[in-house]
Amino acid sequence: MIHYLDTSLLVAALTRKVRTRAVQCRLAEQESGSRAIIYRVVTELSAALSVKLPSKQLTALQRADALSPFDGSACAATTGGISWSKK
């Protein structure tokens, strides 16, 4: 079974938030390849991370690092066991 992940879950998994460790542990417990996102979530993730720049919750480098697995260089990629596609 494939579980589609919400943008807020990705933000928590890829940045330092109160629930980051818990989210990362939960994702690690799941079967590899059982999690997916749709391409539009990458746009939402980018916007969510950009909002954190002015308040210095995130640096530009940290934002770039979090987005790097989703650089669009391939139609399908996997990061941290999360697969995504440009569908």
Written as tens digits, the pLDDT of the chain (87 aa) is: 777 888 888 888 888 888 889 988 888 888 777 777 887 888 899 999 999 999 999 999 999 988 887 775 443 444 455 555 444
How many other C-beta atoms lie within 10 A of the C-beta of residue 66?
21
Q: What is the pLDDT of residue 77?
A: 44
Q: What is the pLDDT of residue 35?
A: 76
Q: Name, in order, each residue with C-beta under 8 angstroms of 16's C-beta and a sequence gap of 6 or more.
A: none
Q: What is the pLDDT of residue 47?
A: 93
Q: What is the pLDDT of residue 49?
A: 93
CB 5, CB 82: distance < 8 Å: yes
Evaluated on CA atoms 22, 24, 29, 34, the torsion sign reads positive
What's the pTM value of the predicted model, to 2 decimals? 0.69
